[in-house]
Amino acid sequence: FQNNAPWQLIKEDKKVEAQIVCSVSCNIVKILSILISLILPVFAKELQQQLNRNRELFSQANPSLRHHL
């Protein structure tokens, strides 16, 4: 996320690229929150709430980005 600097891409009028960076980053955080939910349930729940997601399950840890672009 830091290396791709979406805030800089926006300033350079590269909105599509910025959207891709943000979508991929959010999807990674969502998947990580699912994977850590058994070890750190409270932290995982807080992450999912920040992403406006309800309790996610392992079956929902799909890396597909079809609904994010």
Q: What is the pLDDT of residue 58?
A: 60
Integer Rg of the chain from CA: 14
Q: What is the pLDDT of residue 1?
A: 79
Q: Give pLDDT tens digits for 12-65.
A: 999 999 999 998 988 888 888 888 888 998 999 898 888 887 766 665 555 555
- The secondary structure of the chain, three-state, reads CCCCCHHHHHHCCCHHHHHHHHHHHHHHHHHHHHHCCCCCHHHHHHHHHHCCCCCCCHHHCCCCCCCCC
Backbone phi and psi for residue 32, each to the nearest 5 degrees, phi listed first: -65, -40
Residues 43, 20: Cα–Cα separation, whole Å: 25
pTM: 0.68
Q: What is the pLDDT of residue 38?
A: 86
